[in-house]
C-alpha cells in the first residue's frame, strides 16, 4: 500500500500529543506499508516531505497560511493509493487529494474544533476557517479514527451526518521501551529540583485546553514540603501567557520550591522528571485521550487527572491514579486529590507500578499501527 501520512508536526518539530502520535505511528507503519510523511517545515529526507506556507502569505492569518500548506501537500500526493491526515492543519490536504486523485482519505481526530471555542482567541476569524476545514474533511472522509471511545461519541455528536460505521476507535499508544523509569538525578540537579523532596509535575502547553491556570490555583495550599514543577511553554496567545505568568508569580510568593521550565526539554530529560515526580498532574478541561498521562504511567508515576474525554480510558481511577470531575469545585477537588497522593508515598508507588503495567500491556504502538494498517486494507478493498 502506498500511503501518504499528512501532519503539521513531525520530528524534530513536535510540540503536542498529535505530533507524538504521528512520530511513533509512522515508525511502526513503515515496515507494513510504503509510507511518505508530509509535514510542515523545510527540506526533504527519505520518506519525509516538508512543506512551508507560501511566502506571499507571511504575516497573514494562520488559517490562510495553513491552507497554502494543504495545497502544497495535495500537489505532492500524486501516486499515493490512500492518504491519512492528522488535525485540521492537514485535513484539507487529505480532502483535496481525495477529490483530485480519487483516493480514499482516512483522518484521525485528535481534537475537534467545535469543542475548542477558545481557539477563536488564538486564531481570530481563522477559527471559522479551521472549523470549516475540519467539517468539510470529516464529513467526506472514507474513515474517521477516534483516539478514544469518548472521542468517538464527541465526533458523532458534533457531526451527526456521519455514518457511525465509518468512525473507528484506535487508541493512542506509548513506546514503553523509550518511556521507562530513569532513576538518575542529573537533570533534576541541573534544573534546581531537590530530588529528596516530593514534587507535583505538569508537562504541557500553556493553553486553555490544558487547564494549567486551574492547577496553579489548586496547588497554593498543598503540603509545603512538596515542590511544584511546571514544564510549560508554547503559549497559545499573549493573553494566556500573561495569565500564566501572573499566577506563577503569585504562587511563588506564597510557597517555595516552585519551578517553571519554559523551554521544550529533550525527551530523555522529561522522562527523568516524570520518573521522580511523586504525582503527575493533568488538569485538562478537554482531552480526547492524553498521551502525556500514558508517558507518566510508563515512567512508573501516579497520575491525578481531570475526568474528561478519553482520560478515564487511560487512567484507572483508584488503581493507576485519581480522577477529578471538572463540573464543580474543580480546583478544590484537584488540590485534595494531589494532597492525598503526596501524603501516602506507598499508595503513590503502588499506583505508579500499576500504571507502568497498564501502559505496557494495553497501549503498545506496534498494535496501534497494525490496527491502522488493517483499516487501510479494509478501506482500499471498498474503494
Residues in the chain: 383
Output the pLDDT for position 264.
86
C-alpha grid cell, residue 61:
492569518
What whole-number distance in Å separates Cα of residue 251 and Cα of residue 291? 27
Give residue 307's Cα distance to chain centre. 16
Q: What string of pLDDT tens digits covers the 383 residues of the chain?
A: 999 999 999 998 887 788 989 999 999 999 999 999 999 998 788 899 999 999 999 999 999 999 999 999 999 999 999 999 999 999 999 999 999 999 999 999 998 999 888 777 777 788 999 999 999 999 999 999 999 898 999 999 999 999 999 999 999 899 999 999 999 999 999 999 999 999 999 999 898 889 999 999 999 999 999 999 999 998 888 889 999 999 999 999 999 999 999 998 999 999 999 999 999 999 999 888 888 999 999 999 999 999 998 999 999 999 999 999 998 899 999 999 999 999 999 999 999 999 999 999 889 898 899 999 999 999 999 97
Q: Could you report the per-residue pLDDT of 222-255, keeping only the tens digit for each? A: 999 999 999 999 888 888 999 999 999 999 999 9
Q: Which domains does the chain have, with CATH numbers?
A: 2-173+364-382 (3.40.50.2000), 186-362 (3.40.50.2000)
Express as a percent the part of the chain with pLDDT over 90: 83
Backbone angles phi, psi at 57, to 5 degrees: -100, 5
Report whether 285 contacts 326 (CB < 8 A): yes
pLDDT of residue 203: 96
DSSP letters for 67-113: HHHHHHHHHT-TT-SEEEEESHHHHHHHHHHHHHH---EEEEESS-G
What is the per-residue pLDDT for 71? 98
- Residue 119's pLDDT is what? 75
Distance CA 159, CA 3 (A): 26
d(CA 274, CA 178): 13
User: What is the rounded CA–CA span in Å between residue 1 and residue 22?
Assistant: 18
Tell me, what's the pLDDT at 9?
Answer: 94
- 253 is written with which cell numbers? 510568593
In this prediction, residue 184 carries a pLDDT of: 97
Nearest one of 5, 6, 23 to 14, comparing CA atoms: 23
**What is the edge-to-edge ordering of all strands in the sheet holding 105-109?**
44-45, 48-51, 34-40, 2-6, 82-86, 105-109, 143-146, 167-169
Write down the pLDDT at residue 69.
98
Name residue 38's beta-bridge partners: 6, 49
Which pLDDT belongs to residue 42?
87
Of the candidates 8, 321, 9, 294, the residue with the CA atom closest to the CA atom of residue 147? 294
Cα end-to-end span (Å), the chain: 13
Map residue 225 onto helix, strand or coil: coil
Query: What backbone phi and psi angles, to 5 degrees, belong to 205?
Result: -80, 155
Amino acid at each position: 500500500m502506498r500511503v501518504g501520512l499528512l501532519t503539521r508536526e513531525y520530528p524534530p518539530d513536535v510540540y503536542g500529543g498529535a505530533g507524538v502520535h504521528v512520530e511513533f505511528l509512522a515508525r511502526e507503519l513503515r515496515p507494513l506499508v510504503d509510507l511518505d510523511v508530509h509535514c510542515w517545515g523545510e527540506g526533504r529526507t527519505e520518506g519525509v516531505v516538508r512543506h512551508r506556507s507560501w511566502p506571499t502569505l507571511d504575516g497573514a492569518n494562520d488559517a490562510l497560511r495553513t491552507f497554502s500548506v494543504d495545497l502544497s501537500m495535495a500537489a505532492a500526493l500524486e501516486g499515493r493509493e490512500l492518504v491519512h491526515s492528522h488535525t485540521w492543519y492537514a485535513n484539507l490536504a487529505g480532502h483535496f487529494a481525495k477529490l483530485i486523485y480519487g483516493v480514499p482519505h482516512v483522518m484521525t481526530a485528535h481534537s475537534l474544533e467545535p469543542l475548542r471555542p477558545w481557539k477563536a482567541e488564538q486564531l481570530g476569524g481563522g477559527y471559522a476557517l479551521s472549523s470549516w476545514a475540519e467539517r468539510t474533511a470529516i464529513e467526506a472522509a472514507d474513515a474517521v479514527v477516534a483516539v478514544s471511545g469518548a472521542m468517538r461519541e464527541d465526533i458523532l455528536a458534533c457531526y451527526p451526518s456521519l455514518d457511525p460505521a465509518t468512525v473507528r476507535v484506535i487508541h493512542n499508544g506509548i513506546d514503553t521501551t523509550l518511556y521507562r523509569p530513569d532513576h538518575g538525578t542529573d537533570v533534576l540537579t541541573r534544573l534546581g529540583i531537590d530530588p529528596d523532596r516530593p514534587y507535583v509535575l505538569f508537562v504541557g502547553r500553556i493553553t486553555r485546553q490544558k487547564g494549567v491556570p486551574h492547577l496553579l490555583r489548586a496547588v497554593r495550599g498543598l503540603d509545603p514540603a512538596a515542590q511544584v514543577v511546571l514544564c510549560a511553554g508554547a503559549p497559545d496567545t499573549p493573553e494566556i501567557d500573561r495569565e500564566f505568568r501572573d499566577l506563577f508569580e503569585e504562587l511563588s510568593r506564597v510557597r517555595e520550591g516552585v519551578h517553571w521550565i519554559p523551554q521544550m526539554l529533550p525527551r530523555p530529560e522529561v522522562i527523568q522528571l516524570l520518573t521522580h515526580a511523586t504525582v503527575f498532574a493533568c488538569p485538562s478541561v478537554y482531552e480526547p485521550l492524553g498521551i502525556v498521562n500514558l508517558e507518566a504511567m510508563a515512567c512508573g508515576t501516579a497520575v491525578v487527572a481531570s475526568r474528561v474525554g478519553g482520560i478515564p480510558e487511560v487512567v484507572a481511577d483508584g488503581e493507576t491514579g485519581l480522577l477529578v470531575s471538572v463540573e464543580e469545585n474543580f480546583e478544590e477537588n484537584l488540590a485534595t486529590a494531589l494532597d492525598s497522593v503526596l501524603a501516602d508515598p506507598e499508595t503513590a508507588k503502588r499506583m505508579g507500578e500499576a500504571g507502568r503495567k497498564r501502559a505496557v500491556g494495553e497501549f503498545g504502538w506496534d498494535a496501534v499501527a497494525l490496527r491502522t494498517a488493517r483499516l487501510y486494507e479494509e478501506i482500499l478493498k471498498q474503494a
